[in-house]
Structure 1
Amino acid sequence: MTTGVLIIHGFTGGPFEIAPFKRFLENHTNWKIVVPVLPGHEMDLGVQKGSAKSWMMGAELALRKLQKEVDDVIVVGFSMGGLIAMYLALRYPIKKLILLSAAAKYISPRILLGDAGIMIRSFIRRSYPSDSFYHLYNYKLTNTPIRVAIEFLRVVRLVQRYYHQVKTPVFIVQGEQDGIVPAFTAKLLYEQLGSKEKHLIYSKNGKHHICYSEDRHVWFPKVLQFMHED
């Protein structure tokens, strides 16, 4: 049996947001891991052309392609990607669902940019060749039309009413210091999701970019164990 992992990034973000977790999976599994760039989120652009429909369709097309190449698919969603991951779980057979800082509440671009700067100064220069992510966030957030921000809220509203219909086994990870998605959001999700098997871990010092939290070495293995279980 072959396993594929689809990882969906967040609003105004990109694959760099989940890079540490992706690298961890690559080092500990032989799974096929796919991290598509959602429409309008290309590296050198602001989020100019994206919409709720295009983001969901982009993730859906990536899932369909991956399903043709593997036997089982696990979907990981970060921030807005967590909402899209739940949407996919409603429509397709998915083995496991991982929700990281799932954005069930609205995002504050100002806080997002501030946290991104802290994330990059603390970790990127030590671990990755590029230190340009902060400037990328700055450009994207200052060039994000109000129309596109409204599209993000549309994603929230579209998925919110169906939480109870999600039956896929789920693992939720939430930072207690998240200034964008309130920590209590994770508990609400945990209680409202219809999954029989569900787990919730709080990162005591974790902020919104949870994959860069200081305690990631603790919860990465726990999530991987969940992903391995039948």
Structure 2
Amino acid sequence: MKGCLCIHGFTGEPWEVEPIAESLRKQKDWLVYAPTLPGHGPNGDLRQVTYQEWLYMVEVATEELLNRCDEVYVIGFSMGGLLACYIAAKYPIKKLVLLNAAAYYLNPSMLMDSIKEMVHTQITGESSPDQMVDLYRYKVIHTPMHALRQFMTAVKKIRPYIRHVTTPVLIIQGERDALVPRRSSEFLFKNIAAEEKHIYYLKDGRHMICHGFEQSQLLGYIHDFFMEAQDREDVLDEVSST
């Protein structure tokens, strides 16, 4: 059996990576975990949580998958990408996927575009279909400073582990991500020690990269990376039907 741990981002929930988790669950002999990180979710409280609790949860999930499965894969989105790097540096992971992984954060130019969009919405009552407007509004209003400090500490503490990642890695970055800049993916690609590493950029990809217009392309990259050559044709047929 193959196992996969899907890790969502800071202030997020498992729905952020759900399209990938569901597509893998449709495959034969896959066990997929997509846990909610401590302090997150509808009943979570980010005011008291620490980054160590996030690390502990993903370690426990990884160890359980390693006990139950022959091979374990890890997918991390945004902050979850940093947690995934930490796991890959410490455990015998088969393959690693990083999606808009936050080795760095806040893309200033895209942030300004989104702020302008928010101001336009408040003045005119009109809104273009830009998911980032609501995302920024939510983060500004609801994210406790304590949690933000924990996030920044996690990035700082985990970044040194990146050089110890030798697991084959696939990095995918949305070029229109307003939270995680392109230099984050470039840093990861340069510093991860794996001999096998791939990087792709999605031209119209925003931060919620799993839910964008290029979702099929994203899923295709991941499944192609995960599967053995003889399985790829069947898997990609399955992905295209989702």
Percent identical among aligned pairs is 37
Secondary structure of the corresponding residue to residue 94 of structure 1: coil
| Aligned counterpart, 1:26 | 25
| Aligned counterpart, 2:169 | 170
User: Residues of 1 paired with 2:88 and 2:163: CA distance?
Assistant: 12
Note the C-alpha offset of 1:46. Answer: 4.4
CA contact (8 A) 2:74 2:93 kept: yes
| Aligned counterpart, 2:205 | 206
CA contact (8 A) 1:46 1:144 kept: no
Structure 1 stretch displaced more, 38-47 or 16-25:
38-47
Secondary structure of the corresponding residue to residue 149 of structure 2: helix
C-alpha spacing 1:147/1:204, structure 2 compared with 1 (3 Å): same
CA contact (8 A) 1:12 1:41 kept: yes
* TM-score (norm. length: structure 1): 0.84
User: Residues of 1 paired with 2:201 and 2:132: CA distance?
Assistant: 22
User: Residues of 1 paired with 2:197 and 2:21: CA distance?
Assistant: 22
Alignment of 1:103-118 (within 5 A): 103-107=102-106, 118=130
Q: Does 1:51 align with 2:50?
A: yes
Alignment of 1:42-121 (within 5 A): 42-107=41-106, 118-119=130-131
CA contact (8 A) 1:76 1:85 kept: yes
Note the C-alpha offset of 1:19. Answer: 1.4
- The gaps in structure 2 that reach 5 residues or longer are 119-128, 230-242
- The gaps in structure 1 that reach 5 residues or longer are 122-133
RMSD of aligned residue pairs (Cα, Å): 2.6
Alignment of 1:147-226 (within 5 A): 147-226=146-225
CA contact (8 A) 1:167 1:193 kept: yes
Secondary structure of the corresponding residue to residue 103 of structure 1: coil
- State the Cα deviation string for residues 183-222 of structure 1 (Å, max 9, x = none): 2321221111100000101000001111012112123112
Letter in 2 for 1:222: Y
CA contact (8 A) 1:176 1:206 kept: yes
User: Residues of 2 paired with 1:3 and 1:151: CA distance?
Assistant: 32
* TM-score (norm. length: structure 2): 0.80
User: Residues of 2 paired with 1:107 and 1:64: CA distance?
Assistant: 32
- State the Cα deviation string for residues 9-67 of structure 1 (Å, max 9, x = none): 10000101111122222234441000111110132344222211011111111111121
Secondary structure of the corresponding residue to residue 68 of structure 2: coil
How many residues align? The count is 213
User: Residues of 2 paired with 1:187 and 1:83: CA distance?
Assistant: 14
Letter in 2 for 1:161: P
User: Residues of 1 paired with 2:132 and 2:137: CA distance?
Assistant: 12
CA contact (8 A) 1:14 1:41 kept: yes
Structure 1 stretch displaced more, 180-189 or 85-94:
180-189
C-alpha spacing 1:46/1:144, structure 2 compared with 1 (3 Å): farther
Q: Which has the larger radius of gyration?
A: 2
Letter in 1 for 2:158: V
Note the C-alpha offset of 1:143. Answer: 3.2
C-alpha spacing 1:194/1:38, structure 2 compared with 1 (3 Å): same
Letter in 2 for 1:118: D
Structure 1 stretch displaced more, 22-31 or 53-62:
22-31
User: Residues of 2 paired with 1:77 and 1:105: CA distance?
Assistant: 15
